[in-house]
Chain A
Amino acid sequence: MGEFSYAASYVKCRKCGRIQFPRARCVECRSGEFEEVHPKWESGRLISFTLLYALPRRVKSGAPCALGIAEFGGVRSFGQLRVKNLNIGMKVKAVVDLVSEVGGKPVSGLVFTPEE
C-alpha cells in the first residue's frame, strides 16, 4: 500500500495553523510541528464536480463516477459524490467510506452526500 495507505487524513501546523495533508514541513511556513486534526465533514459547499466516464480500474462503482471538490470551513477536500442532481454551491456532508481498490486492497476516502 505504501503511499496509498491513508484516507483524507489532515494535520494542522502548530506554528501558522494551516490545515493540510500530512507532510514533513508546513507548505505555508516550513515548520515541522503538526498536530492531528479531525475536520468535521459537515456544512460543506460543493465548488466543482465532474462525472467521470473513462473510469480507472481501481474504482469499482461503475461509470460514470462523480468526483468533486468541497469546502468545509477551512478545509477544502476531494471526494467521490453520491448525489443525484449536482449543482455548484450545493450543501454537502462527507463520510469516510470505501472508494476504490489499490493493489487488490480496498481503500477509503471521503464520500460526499447532500446535506438537508
Chain B
Amino acid sequence: MGRIREVAIVGCGMTRFGKLEKGLVDLLVDASLSAIMDAGASEREFDAVYVGNMCSGELNGITGVASMLADRAGLLPAAADRIENGPASGGSAVKAGFMAVASGIHDLVLVAGGEKMTDTPTDKLADIIATLLHPYEYVCGATLPSLGALLARMYMEKYGVKRESISLVAVKNHKNGVLNPYAHFQKEITLEDVLSSPMVADPLRLYDVCPVSDGAAALVLCPAEEAREFTDTPIIIRGVGHATDIQSVTEREDPTILSALRVASEKAYKMAGVGPGDVDVAELHDAFTILEIVQSEDVGFFRKGEGARAVEEGETWLGGRIPINPSGGLKARGHPLGATGVAQIVELTWQLRGEAGKRQVDGAEVGLSVNFGGFGNSILVHVLGRR
C-alpha cells in the first residue's frame, strides 16, 4: 500500500431506529446535522458527501438522494454520491469517505446512511431485497431468511451445535438494546420467547431475524492531523477491508465459511497493525442470529464451530471477553439497510470515546465492525482505534 493520510472520525450522530414518521431524506438530514453539530463543524464547508442507501428508488420512489441531502442540509456545493452495495451500502459509504480523505482528494467529508422501509408491505420488501440473490436461487423462491436458515442447519449439523445456542444471540442483543436509547427494540426477551415465536424459515423464528426499521446515521471525517480542530477525542479509522465471494451459496466450497469475511478482515487487521485478539468491542451484522456466530469465527475471534459456545459461556455479552453488538446489533437496534454500516461505526465511535453510557465496554481501545452485503458475497470490515 502506498502512503496515505490517517483518517479521523470527528463527529457522529444518528436518529433513533424504528418505525418512524419522517421520510428518507429528512432522516438523513437529521442524522447528518447531529454529526455535524457533534463535530462543531456547522460553519465549515464540506468537500464531499457519501450516502449509503440500498433502495430509495424501489421503496420510496426517489433517486439521487445524496444531492438532495447536500441541498437540504446546507452542504452545497459539496460533491455528493449515493453508494449502493445492498445491505452493506453503509459500510461501502464509510469506505468511500475514508478513501477520499486518505488519498488527499478531500479534507472534510460527511458520510451518511439511511433507509425508509416501514411504508412498504413486508412481503414486497422481502422480494425487493431477495433480488440481490443469484437469479436461479431467486427463481426457486429463496429469500434472505431462507438462506440464513439453510446456513443455520448446515452449521448445526457440521459443528454439533444446538438450536437453542444460536438463539441466545437474540436474547443477548435484546438485553443490550435496552441500554441503547437509539435502538428499535428496548425490551428484554427470553430464550423461550425466541423458541416460541412464529416460524419464518425453519429453524429460524421471528426473533432470530432482525426487524424492518427506518433510520439514519452519519459521521464526519477529516485528516487525523486536523482532527484536534474539531474534537479532543478523535477516533482513527485504522483499517478497512472489503472482499467479494461467489454469489450463489451452493457454489462455495464450504457454505458455512464466509470467505469474503476472512479476506476482508485479514486486510483490515493488516492495515491496522492489529489482530483479532486486540479487538475490545465489535459490531457484527446479525441480520439473523446464526450470522453473528459465523462472523465471530470468520473474523478470527473464535475457532470455527466455537462461536456458539462463546455465546453460551458469556464471552460475547457485555462484561465478557469480547462484547459483540453492545448496541443491540441489527436484531435490537434495527436494520434500516443503508444505515446499518454507518450506525455500526457510530456505536464504535461512542464506545472508543467512552460515551456509550450504560452499555460502555470499559477501556475499549480497538473496535471492529462487519457489514454484510448480499448473502455474504460482499463484506466490509472496519477497524477503529483511539490512536
Partner of A67, one of B123, B142, B151, B203: B142
Nearest CB to that of B142 among chain A residues? A67
Count class of interface residues, chain B? 35 or more
Q: Which residues of chain B (80-135) have a CB below 8 Å from chain A? A: 122-124, 126-127, 130, 134-135
Evaluate contact between B136 and A78: CB separation under 8 angstroms. Answer: yes
- Mark contacts of A49-63 with chain B using CB atoms, 8 A cut-off: 1 yes-contact digit, 0 otherwise: 111111111110000
Does A83 interact with chain B (Cβ within 8 Å)? no
Partner of A56, one of B123, B134, B204: B123
Q: How far is the CB of A77 from chain B (nearest CB, A)?
A: 6
Nearest CB to that of A110 among chain B residues? B140
Q: How far is the CB of B16 from chain A (nearest CB, A)?
A: 26
Evaluate contact between B248 and A78: CB separation under 8 angstroms. Answer: yes
Contacts of A27 in B (CB 8 A): 246, 251
Q: Which residues of chain B (118-166) have a CB below 8 Å from chain A? A: 122-124, 126-127, 130, 134-143, 145-146, 149-151, 153-154, 157
Q: How many A-B residue pairs have CB under 8 A?
A: 113
Partner of A80, one of B140, B204, B250: B140
Distance of A34 Cα from B130 Cα, bound (Å): 28
> A53 with B199: in contact, given A67-B140, A78-B142, A107-B139 (CB under 8 Å)?
yes
- Mark contacts of B235-270 with chain A using CB atoms, 8 A cut-off: 1 yes-contact digit, 0 otherwise: 000000000001011110001000000000000000
Partner of B202, one of A51, A55, A110: A51
Evaluate contact between B135 and A3: CB separation under 8 angstroms. Answer: yes
Partner of B145, one of A3, A4, A6, A54: A54
> A77 with B202: in contact, given A4-B135, A7-B136, A49-B150 (CB under 8 Å)?
no
Nearest CB to that of A8 among chain B residues? B136
Does B198 interact with chain A (Cβ within 8 Å)? yes
Most chain B Cβ neighbours within 10 Å, of A6, A51, A54: A54
Distance of A102 Cα from B133 Cα, bound (Å): 14
Evaluate contact between B153 and A109: CB separation under 8 angstroms. Answer: no
Contacts of A88 in B (CB 8 A): 153, 157
Evaluate contact between B130 and A56: CB separation under 8 angstroms. Answer: yes
Contacts of A109 in B (CB 8 A): 136, 139-140
Q: How far is the CB of A23 from chain B (nearest CB, A)?
A: 9
What DSSP secondary structure best describes chain A's contact surface?
strand
Contacts of B73 in A (CB 8 A): none
* A residues contacting the other copy or chain, number (CB 8 A): 38
Contacts of B145 in A (CB 8 A): 52, 54
Q: How far is the CB of B282 from chain A (nearest CB, A)?
A: 27
Does B195 interact with chain A (Cβ within 8 Å)? no
Evaluate contact between B141 and A65: CB separation under 8 angstroms. Answer: yes
Partner of A50, one of B122, B149, B248: B149
Distance of A21 Cα from B136 Cα, bound (Å): 9
Contacts of A113 in B (CB 8 A): none
- 9 nearest CB pairs, A to B: A50-B149, A59-B141, A51-B202, A3-B135, A48-B150, A48-B154, A109-B140, A48-B153, A50-B201
Interface residue ranges, B against A (CB under 8 Å) = 122-124, 126-127, 130, 134-143, 145-146, 149-151, 153-154, 157, 198-204, 246, 248-251, 255
Interface residue ranges, A against B (CB under 8 Å) = 3-4, 6-8, 20-21, 27, 47-59, 64-65, 67-69, 76-80, 88, 99-100, 102, 107, 109-110
What are 27 residue pairs bridging A and B, where the CB atoms are less than 8 Å apart in the complex? A8-B136, A21-B134, A21-B136, A27-B246, A47-B154, A48-B150, A48-B157, A48-B255, A50-B201, A50-B202, A52-B146, A52-B149, A53-B198, A53-B201, A54-B126, A56-B123, A56-B130, A57-B127, A58-B127, A67-B146, A69-B150, A69-B249, A77-B250, A78-B137, A102-B139, A109-B139, A109-B140
In the complex, besides A8-B136, A65-B141, A67-B140, 14 extra interface pairs with C-beta distance below 8 angstroms are A49-B150, A50-B202, A52-B149, A53-B201, A68-B150, A69-B249, A78-B137, A80-B140, A88-B157, A99-B140, A100-B139, A100-B140, A109-B136, A110-B140
